[in-house]
């Protein structure tokens, strides 16, 4: 934020003042004035330090107790300390019931020893925060009884009583949530918050106030919080699903705040918040290789002279939801929306809906990849204290359903904001200052009930894996063609590890065309089932097919190192003579013009299983015919390229633990049977090369009807294709 020279001088004087003699009247007055000015400028932590010293010399002073309690309550990280001082101030206060007792109170007079009527409002807030609802209500009511009818805090006191009533209801029927800390790899002793998750779940961007690994910001302190400025970090999962050591992004400024907001579905456009001299704005940065571009202001009227705090982009990139406290809203911060115009620009902003926005603050919108489920935080609706997290669904006509509170214990009487979910809707990430954390604020995840699983959404994701020891060519592109309409979309894999992700509407057939230097390296047709539940298609593509007989497992890669990952700080340049990365415009042009390549295979074998089965009978006639084709290709070409796909339904399996594991086991079994069959025919099994691996869990949501083989059977299979 921007502060004048005089205010900064005040800050330093205020910090220096405690060194003066405690018994000196002049010293007391000076400190009192400086602490009052610090409170005015919202330097509550520094003000609290001075009030604490003054209170040590006069413990029965109601005003000093009040000042210290309010400073703690509004401080960056000491809110929990406020209650005993506010209790003491309220007890010492000399009330003049009926005359409101405000005209005679001078907050800037060092001789003032009484506390104002506002002490009961803040005491109510402190009790409220500590879940002491009866005491909170009594304090709120006392403030209402003894304050001026026009007092600016009266409406908030009445709202406080409404929220304590909401809290009693919500806490009486807690949800069956399993809440866990993300862990010490992500969190540290200071604040970590505002998590942003990529659609594939493999990248977690978040905001942290920590000293950077190179200590570049160790001496650069935010004067308000007394901690390093907010910086953006990212952590990536390894192939075993473990979060790796977080990395500081190259776009963080030397001085000033930068905070996470949202990330595009492909993980390659990041939206961030920047404090521009007190005028908060929303910026976007694009991933170029392994470097994030300098953030640029978002267009249209998304940013104004008002405060824009947060935003979220829909998975199709056509709608952006954001928060602003601009004039003309329904009250405080509201959620607005802009849509992508035919020329690629953003439309003018429109207030989202009075169904969602209230006269209180809204913040932290997150639109699920299905494009219909919106999560957000609000102090309105049936919030039980501060911000609560809600969700709403978009109807077919574009209207929104009444927001639903996610309930206790996820929501608390404190602020609960910045909630995001995985693509399947079953896990949410959020930040909280729970006592069990590693620091002041930590990032947590919550496993949500089955009924919150996303519907009507299919996510295609996976890795494009270069040859051993080589980097992923910058020109690698995936083109996805809707075979019915001819519409083509392009996706660039992440340079560091080959990760790619795409959202595919169901009930459609697609051609997937993986290209390097505009030459097809793998292609196949897929049909996305019409099932209403969430579906995930995992495809790993080898740019240089690997021997099927080589690794112990066809999906194993070095632990802790995604394919193609480079050492930190290494920037890979294209080798001489290789094609430079194409621009977005060039990618679209090539995708629109490219002809559908030959997707034919010499033969395809499919084995459909009963519940929990995974084996292939070597004596099955159709299997023998498939092996004949494989052997013939080896004899003719000296090799055979193989694609293996395995699938499990959503019927729970105790035998294999998870359906993901069952699907992998079916894939492994198909690989092993193929190697055995080729070797039994006297052929060299090392001439079998793996071109791609597809691993799926799909089909309708399980509803206890495991005997319904017609419903689930078609999603339980292993398929092999060869050419």
Residue 181 has pLDDT above 90, yes or no: yes
Please check whether residues 152 and 227 belong to one and the same domain.
Answer: no
Does residue 626 fall inside a structural domain?
yes
Please check whether residues 647 and 587 belong to one and the same domain.
Answer: no
Handedness of CA 106, 111, 117, 118 (dihedral sign): positive
Q: How far is CA 576 from CA 469, 496, 571, 579, in A?
A: 18, 20, 15, 9
Residue 547 · residue 671 · CB < 8 Å: no
Residue 220 · residue 255 · CB < 8 Å: yes
DSSP class of residue 118 equals H
User: Is cis: bond before 209, omega within 30 of 0?
Assistant: no
pLDDT tens digits for 208-232? 999 999 999 988 988 888 889 999 9
Residue 232 · residue 271 · CB < 8 Å: no
Does residue 94 fall inside a structural domain?
yes
Band of residue 529 on the pLDDT scale cut at 50, 70, 90: confident
Residue 565 has pLDDT above 70, yes or no: no
Residue 185 · residue 235 · CB < 8 Å: yes
Highest mean pLDDT among 170-174, 470-474, 665-669: 170-174
Q: How far apart are CA 419 and CA 206, in angstroms?
A: 12
- The pLDDT score that the predictor gives to residue 435 is 64
Does residue 340 fall inside a structural domain?
yes
Last residue of a domain, one of 391, 417, 452: 452
Does residue 474 fall inside a structural domain?
yes
Show Cβ contacts of residue 376 under 8 Å, excluding neighbours closer than 6 positions.
335, 356, 362, 363, 364, 365, 366, 389, 390, 391, 392, 403
Q: Of the given ranges (13-27, 56-70, 403-417), which has the lowest mean pLDDT?
A: 13-27
Please check whether residues 256 and 344 belong to one and the same domain.
Answer: yes
Mean pLDDT, the chain, rounded, equals 87
- The pLDDT score that the predictor gives to residue 585 is 57
Phi-psi region of 187 (alpha: psi -120 to 50; beta: other; left: phi over 0): beta
Buried b (16+ CB within 10 A) or exposed e, 588-610: eebbeebeeeeeebebebebebe
Does residue 637 fall inside a structural domain?
yes
- The pLDDT score that the predictor gives to residue 551 is 53
Q: How far apart are CA 643 and CA 634, in angstroms?
A: 15
- The pLDDT score that the predictor gives to residue 6 is 34
The CA dihedral of 531, 533, 534, 538, to the nearest 10 degrees, is -40
Buried b (16+ CB within 10 A) or exposed e, 116-132: bbbbbbbbbbbbbbebb
Distance from the first to the final alpha carbon of the chain: 63
Last residue of a domain, one of 141, 156, 172: 172
- The pLDDT score that the predictor gives to residue 284 is 97
- Mean pLDDT value across residues 639-656: 91
pLDDT tens digits for 83-100? 999 999 999 998 654 444
Residue 630: domain span:
600-723
Q: How far apart are CA 650 and CA 645, in angstroms?
A: 17
Residue 275 · residue 257 · CB < 8 Å: yes
Handedness of CA 261, 262, 267, 269 (dihedral sign): negative
Question: What is the share, in percent, of the chain residues with pLDDT greater than 90?
Answer: 66
Please check whether residues 221 and 244 belong to one and the same domain.
Answer: yes
Angle between helices 62-74 and 82-92 (to 10 degrees): 150
Place of tokens 């050492």: 567
With 0-12 CB in 10 A as exposed, 13-18 as middle and 19+ as buried, what is 707?
Answer: exposed
Band of residue 240 on the pLDDT scale cut at 50, 70, 90: confident
Please check whether residues 429 and 487 belong to one and the same domain.
Answer: no
Please check whether residues 413 and 302 belong to one and the same domain.
Answer: yes
Please check whether residues 188 and 158 belong to one and the same domain.
Answer: no
- The pLDDT score that the predictor gives to residue 575 is 39
Residue 434 has pLDDT above 80, yes or no: no
Residue 643 has pLDDT above 80, yes or no: yes
- The pLDDT score that the predictor gives to residue 469 is 86
Please check whether residues 12 and 159 belong to one and the same domain.
Answer: yes
Does residue 341 fall inside a structural domain?
yes
Question: Domain total for the chain?
Answer: 4
- The pLDDT score that the predictor gives to residue 33 is 95
Q: How far apart are CA 439 and CA 593, in angstroms?
A: 53
Residue 570 has pLDDT above 80, yes or no: no
Please check whether residues 120 and 244 belong to one and the same domain.
Answer: no
Q: What CATH number did the domain enclosing 460 receive? A: 2.60.40.1120
- Mean pLDDT value across residues 239-252: 92
Does residue 333 fall inside a structural domain?
yes
The SS3 call for residue 630 is helix
Q: What CATH number did the domain enclosing 145 receive? A: 1.25.40.10
Closest of 361, 687, 382 to residue 545, by C-alpha: 687
pLDDT tens digits for 307-326? 999 999 999 999 999 999 99
Residue 582 has pLDDT above 70, yes or no: no
pLDDT tens digits for 329-371? 999 999 999 999 999 999 999 999 999 999 999 999 999 999 9
Does residue 550 fall inside a structural domain?
no
- Mean pLDDT value across residues 655-666: 89
Q: What CATH number did the domain enclosing 659 receive? A: 3.30.1330.60
Last residue of a domain, one of 553, 579, 594: 594
Query: Which residue did the predictor score with more confidence, 457 or 576?
Result: 457
β-pair partners for 31: none
- Mean pLDDT value across residues 703-718: 81
Q: What CATH number did the domain enclosing 298 receive? A: 2.120.10.30
Residue 238 has pLDDT above 70, yes or no: yes
pLDDT tens digits for 368-401? 999 999 999 999 999 999 999 999 999 999 999 9
Q: How far apart are CA 387 and CA 132, in angstroms?
A: 18
Please check whether residues 55 and 194 belong to one and the same domain.
Answer: no
Q: Rounded to 5, what percent of the chain is helix, strand, coil? A: 25, 30, 45
User: Is cis: bond before 409, omega within 30 of 0?
Assistant: yes
pLDDT tens digits for 12-61? 434 443 443 444 678 999 999 999 999 999 999 999 999 999 999 999 99
Please check whether residues 353 and 206 belong to one and the same domain.
Answer: yes
Residue 471 has pLDDT above 60, yes or no: yes
Band of residue 273 on the pLDDT scale cut at 50, 70, 90: very high
Residue 563 has pLDDT above 90, yes or no: no
Please check whether residues 406 and 515 belong to one and the same domain.
Answer: no
């Amino acid at each position: 934020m921007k502060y004048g020279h005089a205010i900064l001088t005040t800050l330093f004087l205020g910090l220096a003042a405690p060194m003066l003699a405690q018994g000196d009247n002049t010293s007391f007055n000076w400190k009192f004035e400086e602490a009052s000015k610090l409170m005015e400028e919202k330097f509550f932590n520094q003000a609290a330090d001075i009030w604490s010293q003054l209170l040590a010399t006069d413990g029965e002073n109601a005003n000093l107790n009040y000042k210290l309690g309010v400073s703690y309550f509004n401080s960056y990280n000491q809110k929990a300390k406020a209650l005993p001082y506010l209790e003491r101030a309220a007890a010492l206060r000399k009330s003049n019931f009926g005359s409101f007792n405000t005209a005679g109170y001078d907050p800037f007079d060092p001789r003032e020893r009484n506390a104002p009527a506002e002490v009961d409002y803040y005491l109510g807030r402190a009790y409220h925060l500590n879940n002491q609802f009866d005491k909170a209500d009594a304090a709120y009511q006392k403030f209402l009884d003894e304050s001026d009818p026009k007092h600016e805090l009266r409406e908030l006191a009445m709202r406080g009583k409404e929220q304590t009533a909401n809290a009693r209801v919500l806490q009486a029927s807690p949800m069956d949530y399993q809440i866990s800390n993300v862990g010490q790899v992500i969190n540290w002793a200071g604040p970590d918050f505002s998590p942003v998750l990529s659609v594939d779940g493999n990248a977690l961007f978040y905001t942290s106030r920590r000293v950077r690994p190179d200590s570049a910001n160790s001496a650069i302190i935010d004067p308000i919080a007394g901690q390093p400025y907010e910086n953006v970090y990212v952590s990536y999962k390894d192939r075993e699903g473990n979060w790796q050591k977080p990395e500081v992004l190259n776009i963080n400024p030397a001085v000033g705040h930068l905070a996470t907001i949202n990330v595009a579905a492909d993980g390659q456009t990041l939206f961030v918040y920047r404090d521009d001299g007190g005028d908060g704005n929303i910026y976007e940065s694009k991933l170029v290789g392994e470097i994030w571009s300098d953030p640029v202001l978002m267009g249209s009227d998304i940013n104004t002279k008002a405060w824009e705090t947060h935003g979220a982009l829909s998975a199709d990139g056509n709608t952006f939801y954001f928060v602003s406290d601009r004039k003309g809203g329904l009250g405080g911060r509201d959620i607005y929306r802009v849509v992508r115009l035919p020329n690629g620009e953003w439309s003018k902003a429109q207030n989202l809906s009075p169904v969602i926005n209230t006269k209180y603050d809204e913040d932290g919108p997150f639109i699920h990849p299905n494009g219909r489920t919106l999560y957000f935080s609000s102090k309105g609706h049936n919030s039980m204290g501060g911000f609560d997290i809600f969700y709403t669904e978009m109807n077919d006509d574009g209207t929104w359903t009444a927001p639903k509170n996610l309930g206790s214990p996820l929501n608390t009487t404190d602020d609960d904001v910045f909630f995001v979910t995985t693509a399947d809707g079953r896990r949410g990430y959020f930040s909280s200052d729970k006592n069990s954390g590693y620091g002041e604020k930590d990032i947590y995840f919550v496993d949500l009930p089955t009924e919150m699983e996303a519907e009507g959404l299919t996510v295609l994701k996976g890795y494009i894996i270069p040859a051993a020891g080589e980097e992923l060519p910058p020109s690698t592109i995936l083109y996805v063609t809707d075979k019915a309409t001819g519409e083509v979309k392009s996706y660039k894999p992440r340079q560091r590890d080959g990760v790619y992700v795409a959202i595919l509407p169901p009930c459609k057939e697609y051609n997937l065309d993986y290209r390097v230097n505009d030459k097809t390296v793998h292609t196949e047709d897929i049909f996305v089932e019409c099932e209403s539940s969430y579906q995930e298609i995992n495809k790993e593509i080898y740019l240089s097919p690997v021997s099927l007989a080589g690794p112990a497992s066809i999906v194993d890669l070095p632990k802790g190192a995604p394919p193609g990952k480079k050492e930190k700080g290494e920037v890979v340049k294209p080798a001489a003579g290789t094609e430079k990365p194409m621009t977005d415009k060039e990618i679209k042009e090539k995708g629109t013009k490219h002809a559908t390549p030959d997707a034919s295979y010499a033969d395809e074998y499919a084995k459909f299983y009963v519940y929990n089965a995974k084996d292939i009978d070597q004596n099955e006639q159709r299997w023998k015919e498939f092996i004949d084709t494989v052997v013939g290709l080896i004899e003719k070409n000296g090799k055979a390229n193989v694609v293996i796909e395995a699938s499990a339904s959503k019927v729970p399996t105790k035998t294999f633990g998870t359906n993901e594991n069952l699907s992998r086991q079916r894939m492994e079994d198909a690989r092993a049977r193929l190697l055995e069959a080729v070797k039994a025919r006297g052929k060299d099994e090392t001439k079998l090369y793996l071109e791609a691996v597809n691993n799926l869990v799909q089909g309708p949501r399980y509803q206890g009807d495991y005997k319904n083989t017609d419903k689930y059977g078609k999603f339980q299979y292993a398929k092999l294709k060869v050419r």
